[in-house]
Amino acid sequence: MAIVVERNPASFRTLDEQSIRDHLLLQLNGHYEGAATGETFNGVGRTDILIRVEDRNIFIAECKFWDGPKKFQEAIDQLFDRYLTWRDCKCAVIMFNRQSNSSAVARKMHEVMVAHKGHRKSVSVDADKGSRYVFVKESDPGRDIIVTTLLFDVPGQV
């Protein structure tokens, strides 16, 4: 999907976070046969993307526009503190970048991830394909949670 966004800048230039998320949901629902939903209640809030199969959450994601490391940290905390229940173990933070230098943004994202109190190990670090990490929640340090970070280079307004 990141490549689709980058190859069709005119289609995404004016879209807000929810509209880009809806494009992601279209693709996910093609694969998961309608099981991907947006703004769905889970935990103590509404998560941007939730995929539920056979009454089990298999994936939860939070989408944000990049606005610096502090806001990225807040997005991670929002995902962990509000949306993940103890059964949820696969999630993602999806960042849309309208600023220049996505490589620098990817490096900053990685720095924030490894500095986070819940970080246990980095599984793979790849700005192009998404990076994967193993985290734990303070409230349940015995349960590993796979966190993927995805960076979309979204064209800005002209």
Sorted by where each begins, the domain ranges of the chain are 2-124
* Residue 48, pLDDT above cutoff 90: yes
Q: Tell me the two tokens of residue 7.
A: 């190859």
| Nearest in space to 87 (alpha carbons), one of 148, 11, 144, 154 | 144
Q: Which residues of 47-60 are buried (b: 16+ CB within 10 A; e: fewer)?
A: bbbbbbeeeebebb
Q: What is the mean pLDDT of residues 28-41?
A: 95
Nearest to 92 by CA among 105, 80, 108: 80
- Report pTM: 0.93
**Percentage of residues in the chain having pLDDT higher than 70:** 99
Q: Enter the tokens of residue 23.
A: 């494009």
Q: What's the rounded Cα separation, in Å, for the pair 121 and 140? A: 16
Q: Is pLDDT above 80 for 157?
A: no
Residue 158 has pLDDT above 80, yes or no: no
Position 138 scores a pLDDT of 87
Place of tokens 């220049």: 100
What mean pLDDT, rounded, does the chain reach?
Answer: 94
The pLDDT value given to residue 5: 87
Tokens of 93: 């933070």
> At a CB cut-off of 8 Å and minimum separation 6, what does 64 contact?
17, 71, 72, 75, 93, 94, 95, 96
What is the distance between the alpha carbons of residues 53 and 36, in angstroms, rounded to a whole number?
Answer: 9
Higher pLDDT, 138 or 19: 19
CATH topology of domain 2-124: tt1808, chain A (3.90.1570)
